[in-house]
Chains A and B, each alone.
Chain A
Amino acid sequence: EDKVVQSPLSLVVHEGDTVTLNCSYEVTNFRSLLWYKQEKKAPTFLFMLTSSGIEKKSGRLSSILDKKELFSILNITATQTGDSAIYLCAGTPFGNEKLTFGTGTRLTIIP
């Protein structure tokens, strides 16, 4: 059975700090690892990572995948209160669109 584990489960930091969120996965016939931000309701797409070692960036957010270690990290620099959310990662295999989600990391940014 496919499995995705995220750590830490929750994280509280001060505005301006840099955070690193972790995601390890066991997905049969793995294709991609996706990161989502879930604020109040619907998750919004952040990144899709397919190749190992290639960093993807979007503003203050960046993410990288290590397919040898079955691991991904999401970095957020100079955090702002608007970054407070649950961050979800999910693995997906070749052959279908099924996403296996981790339990998420609840990030709280204190002003």
Chain B
Amino acid sequence: GAVVSQHPSRVICKSGTSVKIECRSLDFQATTMFWYRQFPKQSLMLMATSNEGSKATYEQGVEKDKFLINHASLTLSTLTVTSAHPEDSSFYICSARLDGGAAGELFFGEGSRLTVL
């Protein structure tokens, strides 16, 4: 099946630093990828939709200048958390839609746990 790789799986950083998380579709092309955030015991919340070659679409309440998304190729999207603060500590997970695949069938990365000290 389609595989989505997310890296790093775990990152600890100091407050004020920036952290980049990569999401790669390993064996398929994905024009569209999605970034979610999941707080403990809560659901996956969509942050933004990442489209290859164009600007990401952010959900209401998500600061685009804080969560920079770049989708430079058909297999890679990156999320950069800029000037991270402790409240940004969370589990970030990406998903990718297989180009030409069934609508709604998404493949998820393994997630990245960010801890900001």
Residues of A within 8 A of B (CB): 4, 31-32, 34, 36, 41-45, 48, 88, 90, 92, 96-104
Q: A41-B111, A42-B93, A98-B49 are in contact. Are A103 and B43 (CB under 8 A)?
A: yes
CB distance B49 to A31 under 8 Å?
no
A-B contact count (CB 8 A): 61
B74-94 interface (Cβ within 8 A of A): 93
With beta carbons under 8 angstroms apart, the residue of A32, A42, A96, A102 that contacts B43 is: A102
Determine the distance from Cα of A102 to Cα of B43 in the docked complex, in whole angstroms: 6
CB distance A101 to B110 under 8 Å?
no
CB distance B103 to A32 under 8 Å?
yes
CB distance B108 to A42 under 8 Å?
yes
Chain B contact surface mostly: strand
| Central interface residue in A4, A31, A32, A43, by most chain B CB within 10 Å | A43
- Number of B interface residues at 8 Å Cβ cutoff, please give it: 26
| Chain A residues within an 8 Å CB radius of B93 | 41-43
* Given A42-B93, A99-B46, A100-B46: 9 more A-B contacts, CB < 8 Å: A4-B43, A32-B103, A41-B93, A43-B44, A43-B108, A88-B44, A97-B32, A101-B44, A103-B42
With beta carbons under 8 angstroms apart, the residue of B49, B97, B108 that contacts A44 is: B108
